[in-house]
Homo-oligomer: A and B are copies of this chain.
Amino acid sequence: MPNPTAAAPGPLAGRRAQAARNDEAILEAARAVFLADPKAPIAAVADRAGVGISALYRRYAGKEDLLRRLCHDGLRRYVAEAEAALSEPDPWRALTGFLAGVVDADVHSLTVHLAGTFTPTEEMGRDAVRANELAARLVERARADGRLRPDVVVQDLGLLLEACAAVRVPDPERTRQLRRRQLAVLLAGLSAGADAEPLPGPPPAAGEFDWRWRRRE
């Protein structure tokens, strides 16, 4: 069988360079495929990347390994967005900008919806803790500034992101638009207003969403 990419010209031609390019192609394909369907077969990733199955197994020990990598990448992106947001002086803009970034990057699907399909590493645990601390600081600042209603807790961000991630239409760009709309509604609901009645029921607590990370049987 001819290798369709073998003859690629240019400064990056060569087997090594092609392999390096495949690294990225596979990750990108995996992101797209598993975002669309967390239970997709691994062959779908190979197809989408335009490579064979073995190109995948050369890089990852198995499906679980790939999923773990994707999830960890998403988590790191979350942390990076939070860190970037914390350098914004205006607390409200920091919070909304952070959420918009996370929603646009579809980080939530990448982390939460893939959780439970693999056993997390210790480093992921540490990153998750750090992610939570940063998010808590963003919420804290916005609340102290008086722009966020006082009965909002960090865990509400989880609900909010879940709500945005739930919006999904076939076209990715349109999905992004609709999620922005949803986010705008939610932020309007969370911003402090004179007429605001207190939110009903006990607020979401820290341990209530851990079950996602417990391995699904």
| Closest Cβ neighbor of A176 among chain B residues | B201
Q: Is the CB of B177 within 8 A of A202?
A: yes
Q: Is the CB of B204 within 8 A of A181?
A: yes
Interface residues in A, total, Cβ within 8 A? 38
Copies in the complex: 2
Q: Is the CB of A199 within 8 A of B184?
A: yes
Contact A211-B170, Cβ < 8 Å, known A177-B202, A201-B177? yes
A10 within 8 A of B: no
Q: Please, which residues of chain B bring their CB within 8 A of the CB of A189?
A: 184-190
A178 within 8 A of B: yes
A172 within 8 A of B: no
A188 to B151, CA, bound (A): 14
Q: Please, which residues of chain B bring their CB within 8 A of the CB of A206?
A: none
Contact A186-B185, Cβ < 8 Å, known A159-B167, A177-B202, A209-B169? yes
